[in-house]
Amino acid sequence: MGSKIRYANERLTKYFKKKNPDLEPEQEEAVKPYLTFEPDPKPEYLNDHLTAKELAEKYRLKTQTLANWRTQGRGPGYQKYGHKIYYPIPAIDKWIQHSRVRIHEDDDD
């Protein structure tokens, strides 16, 4: 995640047990902090951004559709932080405004 390396808890537990099958209780306690993982909360500077998942849920899209649009240069503008995609809310609003279909009535009536 970003510049940090993260490992799944199950894989770490398996690794430690394989390397040290007879861990003593105090050793197991020493290993526990490395087995718990709390994802970093969304940074404050991204409060005016939506993740791809949030955007997809809000507008009833699939995240894969958003991914396809990004590769095609379509859809709302986005920013990439680490390996995550964030959509600035102003870019979403601009995209929605631009994407609206406008129907003009004839003035001849």
The pLDDT tens digits for 5-43 are 777 777 777 777 777 777 677 776 776 666 665 666 677
Position 106 pLDDT exceeds 90: no
The predicted model gives 61-89 an average pLDDT of 92
CB-count burial class (<10 Å; 0-12, 13-18, 19+) for 76: buried
| pLDDT at residue number 108 | 58
Percent of the chain with pLDDT over 90: 39
Mean pLDDT score of the chain: 80
Calpha distance 70→73 (Å, rounded): 5
Position 4 pLDDT exceeds 80: no
| pLDDT at residue number 36 | 63
The predicted model gives 61-66 an average pLDDT of 94
For residue 84, the one-letter residue type is K
Indicate the pLDDT class of residue 70, thresholds 50, 70 and 90: very high
Contacts of 3 (CB under 8 A, 6+ apart): 82
Calpha distance 69→75 (Å, rounded): 6
